[in-house]
């Protein structure tokens, strides 16, 4: 029994949908989905209807795209309400979300608690010389602006930063109540360390890539493997003895169409 991971399926793209349908079966294995399945409830339903037929267990956390709201679509939920709707869709498919009891993976001598989290970002992945509150202005000076600024509506919170803080506080309380001696696999759409939130071609995009509030959790809660996406730059790095896996599939121009989706599944355990 293995655990695989992938993120950023971006199913608004028909080539990505086709690759998903053609994915092989892994009937004994778990799959981690680390966000950005798509933008709509239909994208999530489609992904889960396919993947729950192919894997034994699915563990999900949303990405920024999953939480977007198109303002022209009056029926589309916003912010926390949209998140809760996505959680309820996951529950219909028996999929584990950041709101559920954390599943335990146990195989031979291996034991992990698998922890999906939603923590968003608070612009704290900014360089030290950028003053708090001026991050978006600073990034846009270089022509970089994340579509979240228009499409990620943080209701009922007054800002994404406040939503992020609330999520971190909720997550930290839950983590504090778990047995620290058991190793953890932590799943977030975002990297858990500031140093991993850098995109060298668009360095100022880092402000939309996580929060420094998660950094201390790695040691504090005995995290051995951190799984994330969002950057669309696949990597596997070890930092201070902890493995950090960026598992993005990405937009159609970011994967090799002569390979199938299976090639991009990362074996985590």
Work out how close the CB of 8 gets to Fe ion at its nearest, in angstroms, rounded to a whole number.
4
Least spacing, CB of residue 52 vs Fe ion, in Å: 22
Distances (CA, A) of 101 to 90, 156, 158, 174: 14, 25, 29, 10
The least CB distance from residue 146 to Fe ion, in Å, is 9
User: Min. distance of Cβ 228 from Fe ion in angstroms?
Assistant: 10
**Rounded distance between C-alpha atoms, residue 5 and residue 226, angstroms:** 11
Cα–Cα distance, 219 to 223 (Å, whole number): 6
Assess contact for 54 and 91: CB atoms under 8 A. Answer: no
State which residue, 36 or 246, has the beta carbon closest to Fe ion.
36
Q: Is residue 64 within the footprint of Fe ion (CB under 5 A)?
A: yes
- Kindly tell me which residue out of 38, 62, 63, 98 binds Fe ion, with binding defined by CB under 5 A: 63
Looking at the Cβ atoms of 94 and 252, the one nearer to Fe ion is 252
DSSP H helices in 34-126: 41-51, 79-92
Q: Please, which residue, 211 or 222, has the CB nearer to Fe ion?
A: 211
Report residue 216 as tokens: 């201390």
Q: Which residue has the tokens 């293995």?
A: 2
* Per-residue DSSP letter, 99: T
66 interacts with Fe ion by CB under 5 A: no
Subset of residues 205 to 234 that bind Fe ion, contact rule: CB under 5 A: 230
Of 9 and 213, CB closest to Fe ion: 9
Would you say 154 or 221 has its CB closer to Fe ion? 154
Under 8 Å between Cβ of 120 and 163: yes
Q: What is the total count of residues that contact Fe ion (CB under 5 A)?
A: 5
For residues 16 and 26, what is the distance between their CA atoms, to the nearest angstrom?
Answer: 19
Q: Per CB under 5 A, which region of 2-10, 125-133, 147-155, 172-180 contacts Fe ion?
A: 2-10
Residue 211's CB is within 10 A of a number of other CB atoms, namely 23
- Asked if 36 is part of the footprint of Fe ion (rule: CB under 5 A), the reply reads yes
Interface mask toward Fe ion for 6-35; x: CB under 5 A: --x---------------------------
In whole angstroms, what is the distance from residue 176 CA to residue 162 CA? Answer: 21
φ, ψ (nearest 5 deg) of residue 67 = -95, 0
User: Which CB, 113 or 120, lies closer to Fe ion?
Assistant: 120
Q: Which spans of this chain sit near Fe ion (rule: CB under 5 A)?
A: 8, 36, 63-64, 230
């Amino acid at each position: 029994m293995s655990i695989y991971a992938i993120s950023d399926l971006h199913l608004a793209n028909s080539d990505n949908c086709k690759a998903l349908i053609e994915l092989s079966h892994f009937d004994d294995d778990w799959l981690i989905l680390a966000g950005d399945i798509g933008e709509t409830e239909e994208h999530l339903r489609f992904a889960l209807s396919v993947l729950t037929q192919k894997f034994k267990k699915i563990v999900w956390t949303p990405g920024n795209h999953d939480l977007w709201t198109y303002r022209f679509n009056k029926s589309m939920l916003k912010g926390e309400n949209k998140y809760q709707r996505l959680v309820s869709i996951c529950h219909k498919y028996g999929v584990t979300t950041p709101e559920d009891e954390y599943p335990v993976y146990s195989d031979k001598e291996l034991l992990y608690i698998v922890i999906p989290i939603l923590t968003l970002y608070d612009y704290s992945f900014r360089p030290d010389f950028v003053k708090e509150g001026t991050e978006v202005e600073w990034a846009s000076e270089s022509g970089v602006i994340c579509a979240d600024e228009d499409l990620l509506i943080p209701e009922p919170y007054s800002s994404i930063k406040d939503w992020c803080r609330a999520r971190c506080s909720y997550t930290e309380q839950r983590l504090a109540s778990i047995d620290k001696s058991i190793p953890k696999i932590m799943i977030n759409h975002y990297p858990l360390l500031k140093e991993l939130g850098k995109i060298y071609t668009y360095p100022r995009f880092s402000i939309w890539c996580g929060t420094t509030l998660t950094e201390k959790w790695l040691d504090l809660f005995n995290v051995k493997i951190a799984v994330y996406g969002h950057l669309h730059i696949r990597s596997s790095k070890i930092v201070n003895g902890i493995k950090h896996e960026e598992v993005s599939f990405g937009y159609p121009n970011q994967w090799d169409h002569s390979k199938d989706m299976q090639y991009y599944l990362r074996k985590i355990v």
